[in-house]
Amino acid sequence: MDGHELLDLAEQCAQAKKPIRVHCCTSTGCQAARSLEVKKALEKRVQDCQLADRVEVVGVGCMGFCGQGPMVELDSTDPQVTTTHYEKVTPEQAPSIIDTIQGGQTDALQGNSQHPFFAKQLLIVRNHSGKVDPERIEESIALGAYQALHHALFELTPEAVVQEISKSGLRGRGGAGYPTGLKWATVAKMPPGQKYVICNGDEGDPGAFMDRSVLESDPHRILEGMAIAGYAVGADQGFIYVRAEYPLAIHRLQKAIQQAKQKGFLGSQIFGSGFDFKVDIRVGAGAFVCGEETALIASVEGKRGTPRPRPPYPAISGLWQAPTLINNVETFANIAPIIRKGADWFAGIGTETSKGTKIFSLTGKVCNTGLIEVPMGISLRTIVEEMGGGVSEGQVKAVQTGGPSGGCIPSSYLDTPVDYESLAALGSMMGSGGMVVMDDKTSMVEVARFYMEFCRSESCGRCVPCRTGTVQLHDLLTKLVEGRGTAFDLAQMESLCQVVRHTSLCGLGMSAPNPIVSTLRYFPEEYQALLQPDRWRIPATVP
């Protein structure tokens, strides 16, 4: 298939769409709220009203406003039918939405597309989510899928692809923010031979569901990004590592891989070129530590998922000792848009050091919960108060970013721009994209204990500082919460945080104390208030 044939195929797929499309979210969250029943009710009404010649009901991926699901959108090119969306739709309300096409009324809750939750987003990774049926490759082709891969294969050298990614300023979206182009260049410079590309879909942070949504909603975006990466670094085999708790994502990925092979977009001699690239899925057992790249590699190899010391880094010696490129889901999802629109376009979004957009799962006490994709540099206040609508009662007290590895940012810093350096300066981190809002009734000590309990239970146990340090930290926090803590316990906890941070084997252990450190930094009075009144003074010496 050449470029003209691909464009012709895209045009054919686009023309096959009917003038009125009824998008019904069928992602995991909305399915839990009976969206499949809603979809069946919509389809039945279309048939009963004999509208099938111009109306089609399409099961799509996540539309973002998860707290208002199930969501249904009328997407119309017919000037007599207005494009609109509905929220919290029930199976009983669904038929009346179809009735509006013929001038009828509906009692379904109509949403506002101009609400700040939608209006302040900038969609790059998620621009097709909620618009395409993720189980039909034709829907993605109609919107340009695999055109960037064709462009890379026939108009760019591998070196030029790496240079374009470097020039874009894209940084890894998995948490650390390492420059993507630099990682690609390292793998590409390794001697010719077997190399691998791995997509890290082991999303384990509490409250985080960004990667799951992208995998469920637009799997071909990930496959195309991985294939471009394989071409750039000289790899012919890719693996997608997904946790078993994401069965819908796994199902849709399997189907997408099969369809891409049938179209010649994956496999041998892609687009008739000399480039081969195959993708397989590896299902993880849900261990949080397997989000760390060396533990993930061990798991893919069939071993117990535990980290190993670095160097050597995976880019030099990774999967089966071969050079291995590892990026997370959101990072790969940015690749095709960058190749298609150019590095300068992407670099023009965001800040000087943090380019592009970032997806966050906005959860907690905030009024509007769901997925948002915003330009880097937007303020926390804009996200929490305007897009999220603030908290339903009381005041915003803190925002936790970065999951168990991140920190709690007090409301006095809500004007902080969301970028890698600014969050790190406050003792937190970007992380994979979890953002939990807390109100003034939240105990920050209990928040720290919650995250420490998570880190304690998820420790792989390989290194002593993490294995025993997280247990001791959790015990000390429990002692404080139960009112049995002393100033000596508090001092011991602070000292132990530094030990765990500086002596653990991997990044997960090193960052485990962050929630304690940040809450001690910004909310010391809450710790002091829990100490026994007659033992506040810290001893002169702490063993």
CB 480 within 8 A of CB 492: no
CA distance 35 to 501: 44
| 543 part of a folded domain | no
CA distance 380 to 386: 10
Same domain, 189 and 300: yes
Dihedral class, residue 307 (left if φ above 0, else alpha if ψ from -120 to 50, else beta): beta
Same domain, 419 and 477: no
Q: What local confidence, expressed as pLDDT, does residue 123 receive?
A: 97
Show Cβ contacts of residue 2 under 8 Å, excluding neighbours closer than 6 positions.
271, 272
Kindly report the number of other CB atoms within 10 A of residue 302's CB atom.
7
In 352-447, DSSP assigns E strands to: 357-364, 370-375, 396-401, 407-410, 434-439
| 6 part of a folded domain | no
| 127 part of a folded domain | no
Q: What local confidence, expressed as pLDDT, does residue 537 receive?
A: 52
What's the CATH code of the domain at 466? Answer: 1.20.1440.230
Please state whether the predicted TM-score (pTM) of the whole model is above 0.85. yes
Bond before 70 cis per omega within 30 degrees: yes
Domain boundary pick from 439, 465, 490: 439
Q: What local confidence, expressed as pLDDT, does residue 540 receive?
A: 47
Pairing of strands 196-201, 237-243: parallel
Domain boundary pick from 323, 347, 371: 347
Same domain, 208 and 294: yes
The structure tokens listed for 362 are 């906005």
The number of helix segments (H) and strand segments (E) in the chain equals 24, 14
| 377 part of a folded domain | yes
| 1 part of a folded domain | no
Same domain, 510 and 467: yes
What's the CATH code of the domain at 428? Answer: 3.10.20.600
What's the CATH code of the domain at 34? Answer: 3.40.30.10
Same domain, 209 and 317: yes
What's the CATH code of the domain at 252? Answer: 3.40.50.11540
| 340 part of a folded domain | yes
Nearest to 539 by CA among 501, 496, 487: 487
CA distance 122 to 127: 8
CA distance 253 to 271: 21
Mean pLDDT by 10 residues, the chain (543 residues): 82 91 96 97 96 96 94 91 93 96 93 94 96 96 96 97 98 90 98 96 87 96 98 98 95 98 96 96 91 95 93 96 97 98 98 96 95 97 97 94 91 96 93 92 96 93 94 96 92 95 92 94 95 59 43
For the chain, what is the domain count?
A: 4
CB 461 within 8 A of CB 467: yes
φ and ψ of 171, to 5 deg: -115, 150
Same domain, 97 and 235: no
| 139 part of a folded domain | no
Same domain, 337 and 415: no
Same domain, 426 and 467: no
The structure tokens listed for 90 are 């029930």
Range of the domain at 425: 357-439
Same domain, 173 and 293: yes
Same domain, 177 and 304: yes
Q: What local confidence, expressed as pLDDT, does residue 53 receive?
A: 94
DSSP 248-273: HHHHHHHHHHHHHHHHTSSBSSGGGS
CA distance 122 to 199: 24
Give how far the C-alpha of residue 149 lies from the chain's centroid of Cα atoms, to the nearest Å: 23
| 280 part of a folded domain | yes
Same domain, 429 and 476: no
CB 414 within 8 A of CB 396: yes
Q: What local confidence, expressed as pLDDT, does residue 345 receive?
A: 98
Bond before 417 cis per omega within 30 degrees: no
Same domain, 216 and 241: yes
Domain boundary pick from 420, 439, 458: 439
